[in-house]
Amino acid sequence: MPTTLSSCIWLDDRGVAWIDKTNIKVIEVAGEYLAHGNSPEEMCAQHPDTLTLGQIHSALGYYFDHQAELDAELERQYQDHLERLRAAQNSPARRKLRAMGLLK
């Protein structure tokens, strides 16, 4: 059963924090904030039909209250993404192109 944390943030059965009335995870807002350094107002302007300023502030508040945990998850996701990219670089098709001298 989901747990409500505030009027804007709730946890699903797996413990993932979501922004209420959206299909957006708190970690996605935190990742965007960290990647681009935009203010909540700028983020709201970029997502006018998706997120309210209050929802963004609630998501960032949750992030800062759980920063170590969410930063570790963001790092894990980043490493997973890098591993998938590395695996794609060694695909059978790329090996064949390398053998043909068409790829470095």
- DSSP H/E element including 61: helix 53-65
Q: What are phi and psi of 48, to 5 degrees?
A: -65, -30
Task: Identify whether the C-beta of residue 51 lies closer than 8 Å to the C-beta of residue 33.
Answer: no
Instruction: Tell me the percentage of the chain whose pLDDT exceeds 90.
Output: 69
Average pLDDT on 5-25 reads 89
Please state the rounded mean pLDDT for residues 43-68: 95
Residue 9: predicted pLDDT = 95
Q: State the pTM of this model.
A: 0.77
